[in-house]
Amino acid sequence: MTQPRRIDFAGAEPVSHDSGVHDREREVDGTRWALVEYAPGAGRAEWCDAPHTGFVRAGTLTYEFEDGRDPLTLHAGDGFVLPPRPRHRGRNDGTQPVELFIVDALPGG
């Protein structure tokens, strides 16, 4: 059973997955919690098939989909759910950083 506790993101070392995209991650009961930041003009290079649930804290982020469907544009204050299919990747086309909070499966999980 999960016990009440504080999750310390400030003490997590930043992880960079793509140029201009980094996050601070913590494992919480078998899931990855992450504070993610996309620098202006930055985006993910590869398609992602991990499901994500999240919230945009600041900025505007656009997810494009491998199957060619219309992009999903998210603004500060929006929550979102991304299933594993269609595969997706985010990008920040704006001039300000984008900050997200996401929860997803651990790699290989």
Phi and psi at 104, nearest 5°, equal: -155, 180
Share of the chain above pLDDT 90, in %: 77
25-29, 49-53, 62-66 — most confident range = 62-66
Residue with tokens 């656009």: 62
- On whether the pTM is more than 0.95, the answer is no
Domains in the chain: how many in total?
Answer: 1
> Is 9 part of a structural domain of the chain?
no
Per-residue confidence band for 61, with pLDDT thresholds at 50, 70 and 90: very high
What SS3 state is found at 108? coil
Tokens found for residue 25: 């991650």
Note down the domain range covering 70: 14-105
- Average pLDDT of the chain? 92
> Is 36 part of a structural domain of the chain?
yes
In Å, the largest CA–CA distance within the chain is 43
pLDDT for 105 equals: 75
| Residue 57, domain CATH | 2.60.120.10
Tell whether the model's pLDDT for residue 108 goes beyond 90. Answer: no
What SS3 state is found at 48? strand
Distance separating alpha carbons of residues 72 and 62, to the nearest angstrom: 6
> Is 68 part of a structural domain of the chain?
yes
Half-sphere exposure of 41 (CA within 13 A, CB side): 1
> Is 3 part of a structural domain of the chain?
no
> Is 1 part of a structural domain of the chain?
no
| Residue 78, beta-bridge partner list | none
Mean pLDDT of 54-73: 97
> Is 5 part of a structural domain of the chain?
no
> Is 8 part of a structural domain of the chain?
no
